[in-house]
Structure 1
């Protein structure tokens, strides 16, 4: 088995925060611009023909798989494991038990034969998983469907562009209910690359550590934001209560003065 440097893409998890940043930086590269334009053309044709998001996806990527389920709820740490059954999404039917998958032992290495053989079965394939709620939104909002398609197209083009020439690429993209990319994983094989060097392995580990740190920082910011909102709500409730008490006291005083008169 020839596992190339790009097989490290098998562990490629991103959250809605990083995908949103990528969306804002659409002008950053020719590949991104080209991807967006192609996706817009495909989506425009699909909208004009009354095509569903599934039809547009499979028109853009013939033979690609399309599934409807809430796969975005799979924990990030679980999704990133080398023994997670990503290959199940490259089938016409997916058993929903994959949503509750739990590891039964230590995580295998990327070079493990079982991991490599599973990667081999996915080469050249693409799949997308759409939550039922998002699918319904896109049926009623063609502009949203076009935006989501452009986002997915941009991710795939950028991801595949990192591969050496001749590599066979595959990927699965998981969307959340807002059309953001919640999870994604890519893999590749073929070509004449014989494996990652020690320097490349160190770089990969550093990238994963940085990605983990960014994810933890994002979660921390979310928690801080939630706490601030809670404090603001409590302060608003307190002020409303004081205002209500003041109004009630004023009314009671007024009634008392009327009675005394």
Structure 2
């Protein structure tokens, strides 16, 4: 039967919803809202869609900001008074990238902090550096990979219902920092990403060092082999001449 859902994106979301319902012990049907969302998502094919279009089709009402989030220090990002709620808006003043605290860090239980966290409940926002935005515009395949990475993070993160997600990407499309917030609590584990990225970079640097050492050893071995070959050849020629075989 034709469901009326067209496009790869719509079919994908509808299939995903069927699978989620079955896993939850529900019937194989989907609600009208779920069907409508899938049909709306299917208005366009995944192919050729920008990351922004995929992001906002998958998460209606989500915010998308092209700016260099790496300018925000990890120390500032992790503070309870960092104004992360500003990113849950269509327009963000880039002065937030250089935010610095004006005093002691407030308690997570303070009314002001709790109020700010509650104001973002259920919302999602992503910060995309200009370099990555340009790469994805020129490479739709990269945009799809980044979308899959971000969607998988949100789907698998052990968060409670109603949480907000603020995700910052690096220029390669990897998650650099994030904040997952719910009223009453906040989980900030973006430092884990920083440590993991540092470990990957160190591992890559070690791999490059070992590869260079191996290449140098092969070069030295080849040179030594050539040297011995020509040395032995010279000795043989000298011996032949001494024996009167060569003149």
Query: Above 0.5 in TM-score?
Result: yes
- Deviation per residue, 1:114-162 (Å, 9 max, x gap): 1111111111211111111111111111111111001100111122x53
Structure 1 residue 170: deviation in Å?
A: 1.2
- Root-mean-square deviation over aligned CA pairs: 4.3
Instruction: Give the TM-score normalised by the residue count of structure 2.
Output: 0.61
SS at match of 2:176: strand
Counterpart of 1:162? 159
Structure 1 residue 97: deviation in Å?
A: 0.8
Structure 1 residue 44: deviation in Å?
A: 11
The answer to whether the 8 A contact 1:43-1:145 is kept is: no
Structure 1 residue 213: deviation in Å?
A: 8.3
**Structure number with larger C-alpha Rg:** 2
Counterpart of 1:53? 51
CA 52–228 in structure 1, closer or farther in 2 if over 3 Å, else same: closer
Between the aligned partners of 1:175 and 1:213, the Cα distance in structure 2 is 14
| Higher RCO structure, 1 or 2 (CA under 8 Å, sep 6+) | 1
The answer to whether the 8 A contact 1:64-1:125 is kept is: yes
Counterpart of 1:175? 169
Residue 148 (structure 2) aligned to one of 125, 150, 153: 150
The answer to whether the 8 A contact 1:110-1:116 is kept is: yes
SS at match of 1:187: strand
- The answer to whether 1:187 aligns with 2:181 is yes
Aligned 1:15-164 pairs, distance under 5 A: 45-48=44-47, 50-159=48-157, 161-163=158-160
SS at match of 2:97: helix
Structure 1 residue 178: deviation in Å?
A: 0.3
SS at match of 2:166: strand
| Structure with more helix by fraction | 1
The answer to whether the 8 A contact 2:127-2:168 is kept is: yes
The answer to whether the 8 A contact 1:46-1:52 is kept is: no
Instruction: Give the TM-score normalised by the residue count of structure 1.
Output: 0.58
Counterpart of 1:248? none
Between the aligned partners of 1:217 and 1:133, the Cα distance in structure 2 is 22
- Deviation per residue, 1:69-111 (Å, 9 max, x gap): 0113322222111111100100111111111111122211211
CA 174–73 in structure 1, closer or farther in 2 if over 3 Å, else same: same
> Structure 1 segments of 4 or more deviating over 2 A?
42-48, 211-233
- Number of residue pairs matched by the alignment: 202
CA 43–156 in structure 1, closer or farther in 2 if over 3 Å, else same: farther
Q: Which runs of 5+ in 2 are unaligned?
A: 1-19, 21-40, 217-247
CA 46–177 in structure 1, closer or farther in 2 if over 3 Å, else same: farther
The answer to whether the 8 A contact 2:50-2:140 is kept is: no
The answer to whether the 8 A contact 1:43-1:149 is kept is: no
